Structure 1
Amino acid sequence: MTEQRPVPYWRLSGFYLIYFAALGSIIPYWSIYLQSIGFSAADIGLLVAILLGTKIFSPNIWSWISEKNRQPVVMIRLASFLSVLAFSGIFLGNGFWWIATIMLLFSFFWNATLPQFEAVTLFHLKEDSHRYSLIRIWGSVGFIAIVVVIGEGLEHYSIAHLPALILVLLAAIWVVSLVVPPPPLESIQKESRFWLPIAKSPQILAFFIVCFLIQASHGPYYVFYTISLDQQGYSGGATGMLWALAVVAEVLLFVVMHRLLKKYSLRFILLTGLCLTALRWFLIAYGSDSLAILLLAQLLHAASFGSNHAVAIHFLHRHFKGQNQLKGQALYGAVSFGLGGVIGSLYSGYLWDVGGAETIYLIAALISLLALFIGWKWVEIESGK
């Protein structure tokens, strides 16, 4: 009989805390840094697209390597170290092609770590996968903390210090990865079935399409939410409060998600989340002049991102068994945050000049409704009780 090993809760949580703190230093502020060193809006858009675009192929390459050696934690440590090394090059030049090369190399390594770590977390949890949200919540805490710290810091210090802060956080990710123990080898035994037939099944394909559409619908939010609030006359303080509120709502959702998973099926949570996602984009499209409506819309981030992501992680855990979990996590990251993120950014950028905020959020709502229809029609998930 195999000895039951305790879950390394704080070490797993620590990785999420620092990883998403690094993400929080990049997503809201990296474009401001690029602007400060003289890049145009078009240049900034392309550099950010490179950051997202590597999510399409990087996780799959690294998960394939990890699958061969069956040592995912070793691969996470290696990718984390190489991301530190690659990002260090940011201090050696500031030309467009140099920064583009650094972004390509850095993101190729950095975007490989999280999908593998998600699988490692679930390997450790085993049958207690409903506890995933209690670990992942620390990622949201890290994101909130760093956004507030940097926002306050910019009142006193130059944005020129941002790359140094990011490098410190990337190095901290690598250090934390060194203390995360490998999961028991028996939990990552090779699956007898090849992973491709799993991914090609109609239900799995439909699920990946839903994930792609969810992230594509978030394009206007991640790219133009702050800009649209500024055009509506909201202050910087109010804008920061609204961003923070969304992540706080996500944190509260993660706190209770393990209870929801015991009470409701994954299918019910998924379809409810998609309904609320569409509602969120409709509210922003037509109610952005009302602070009360915007507050409600930001609370719905718990559904549009929080519950949908949690459902995706548990869905992959059920359908991609053993070593195939690494491939499932990589495919999820590539299709949703990679391809979905790139497409969402592109259509919202193009349509912003055509119809403004109302148009792009209306498109986002319709995309969410399409995801709802596909999920209702073709995604069947057994009870999560």
Structure 2
Amino acid sequence: MTTYPAFPYGRLAAYYFFYFAFIGAFSPYFGLYLQSIKFSALDIGLLMSQMQLMRIFGPNVWGWVVDRWGYRLPIIRLAGMVGLLGFLSFFWLERLPAMLFAMAVLAFFWSGALPLVEMLTFDHLREEGGRYGPVRVWGSFGFIAAVLGTGALLDVMAPVGVLWACTFVLASLFVLALSLPEAPAHPLPAQTLSLQGVLRQPTVLALMLACTAMSSAHGGFYVFFSIHLSEHGYGKTLIGLLWSLGVLAEIIVFLLMPRLLRRFSLRWILLLSFAATVPRFLLMGWAVESLATMIFVQSLHGLTFGAYHAAAIAAVNQYFPQALRGRGQALYSSLSFGAGGLFGALLSGLFWDAWGAGWVFALAAVFGLLGFFLIWRWFAPAVPAA
């Protein structure tokens, strides 16, 4: 019986914690800092959009480099170092062109690290992919901790405090990147499919398109959910609690994933996740006056993100051969969180004033229904050997 080195649970869990803590500290509060140094709404939108834009390109570039030449851990560490240095420049920069360049560099390197760490995690897990959820759940804990901690910090100091909070998180992330161990090499088959060959498989193509549809469905949610609630009389504290409820729901699902994956197929979990998007976004748009309904809506985040993401990333890991796994994870990240999220956010912004919240979130439900059809029609229940 083959034995492997002990799974580095603590170091990987800590990496996920600080990776998503950066999102929790940065996304809700960096715009407030930009506003405090007199940037216009257009400038703020342009700067913040770099994070999604570079998620289209960064993961694919670094995934290709790793699949072509290796150097997975050095690239993860390089991404941590350049991301930290890029963010540190914000302490001195105040003009749009320079800040735009710094933001693009930060996003290009930072976004490329996660798919490689996901690949590393599954290589350490080997045949125990169901244990991914209890590792990834620490990212959700990190997000909550950063949202609450940075918010409390900004209650007692100027908006520049977000720079200090994000710097601490990125420095911690870099230190953790230095500590991550490489996974033992997997034996590769004598012949492997090309990337184009894998993507031509109906199952893989359907999965990628469905993931793009799921992130498109969530694009308007991430941009406009707080605005939607505020316009209907919800206070900021209650809005924050509803956001936290959604993250708590995904934490519960991540912890349950090992048990769920032993009982249900990836196909079944994906179908349930996509099915849940339809009532979630319809109710979000048309029943916002009911607090009980909004609690139910946010509880469904455990399915529409938690179960969906854990199953999707496991499917990518299983359908892409070892030699192509870096680019497979990169494609999943760039198509879903990059292109899909950007498309959904832009489409929602385009129609928000003209259509109103109800029809915008109804469009999100249509994206979820499209993803459900793609998985139901073309995603095969059997997983081919890598």
Amino acid at match of 2:298: Q
Q: What residue is the counterpart of 1:227 in the other structure?
A: 227
Q: 1:291 & 1:39 partners in 2: Cα distance?
A: 35
How far 1:190 sits from its partner (Å)? Answer: 8.8
Q: What residue is the counterpart of 2:198 in the other structure?
A: 198
Q: What residue is the counterpart of 1:121 in the other structure?
A: 121
SS at match of 1:279: helix
SS at match of 1:252: helix
| TM-score (norm: length of structure 1) | 0.96
Q: 1:353 & 1:38 partners in 2: Cα distance?
A: 26
Deviates more, 1:256-265 or 1:315-324: 315-324
Q: What residue is the counterpart of 1:258 in the other structure?
A: 258
Q: 2:3 & 2:263 partners in 1: Cα distance?
A: 30
Q: What residue is the counterpart of 1:173 in the other structure?
A: 173
Map of 1:1-385 to 2, 5 A cutoff? 2-186=2-186, 192-382=192-382
How far 1:194 sits from its partner (Å)? Answer: 2.0
Q: 1:41 & 1:358 partners in 2: Cα distance?
A: 25
How far 1:197 sits from its partner (Å)? Answer: 0.6
**Mapped contact 1:60–1:331 kept (Cα < 8 A):** yes
**Mapped contact 2:67–2:325 kept (Cα < 8 A):** no
Quick one: structure 1 residues 190 and 117, their matched pair in 2 at CA, closer, same or farther if it must change by over 3 Å? farther
How far 1:143 sits from its partner (Å)? Answer: 0.5
Q: 2:16 & 2:189 partners in 1: Cα distance?
A: 25
How far 1:69 sits from its partner (Å)? Answer: 2.9
Q: 1:193 & 1:264 partners in 2: Cα distance?
A: 28
Amino acid at match of 2:346: L
Q: 1:191 & 1:96 partners in 2: Cα distance?
A: 49
**Mapped contact 1:270–1:311 kept (Cα < 8 A):** yes
**Mapped contact 2:319–2:383 kept (Cα < 8 A):** no
Quick one: structure 1 residues 66 and 191, their matched pair in 2 at CA, closer, same or farther if it must change by over 3 Å? farther
Quick one: structure 1 residues 95 and 140, their matched pair in 2 at CA, closer, same or farther if it must change by over 3 Å? same
| TM-score (norm: length of structure 2) | 0.96
Amino acid at match of 1:158: A
Q: 2:364 & 2:32 partners in 1: Cα distance?
A: 25
Q: 1:68 & 1:204 partners in 2: Cα distance?
A: 21
**Mapped contact 2:193–2:321 kept (Cα < 8 A):** no
How far 1:5 sits from its partner (Å)? Answer: 1.3
Gapped runs of 5+ residues in structure 2?
A: none
SS at match of 2:10: helix
Amino acid at match of 1:267: R
Amino acid at match of 1:99: M
Q: 1:18 & 1:188 partners in 2: Cα distance?
A: 32
Quick one: structure 1 residues 93 and 292, their matched pair in 2 at CA, closer, same or farther if it must change by over 3 Å? same
* Percent of paired sites with the same residue: 37
How far 1:359 sits from its partner (Å)? Answer: 2.0
**Mapped contact 1:191–1:324 kept (Cα < 8 A):** no
Residue by residue over 1:103-138, the C-alpha shift from the partner in whole angstroms, topping out at 9 and shown as x without a partner, is 111101100000100000000000011100010010
Residue by residue over 1:65-91, the C-alpha shift from the partner in whole angstroms, topping out at 9 and shown as x without a partner, is 122332311210111111111122112
Q: 1:162 & 1:97 partners in 2: Cα distance?
A: 21
Q: 2:80 & 2:255 partners in 1: Cα distance?
A: 28
Q: 1:331 & 1:357 partners in 2: Cα distance?
A: 31
Residue by residue over 1:138-164, the C-alpha shift from the partner in whole angstroms, topping out at 9 and shown as x without a partner, is 000100111111222222122211112
**Mapped contact 2:93–2:99 kept (Cα < 8 A):** yes
Gapped runs of 5+ residues in structure 1?
A: none
Moved >4 Å (runs of 4+): 187-191
RMSD: 1.6
**Mapped contact 2:90–2:99 kept (Cα < 8 A):** yes
How far 1:64 sits from its partner (Å)? Answer: 1.4
Quick one: structure 1 residues 17 and 189, their matched pair in 2 at CA, closer, same or farther if it must change by over 3 Å? farther
Count the aligned residue pairs.
384
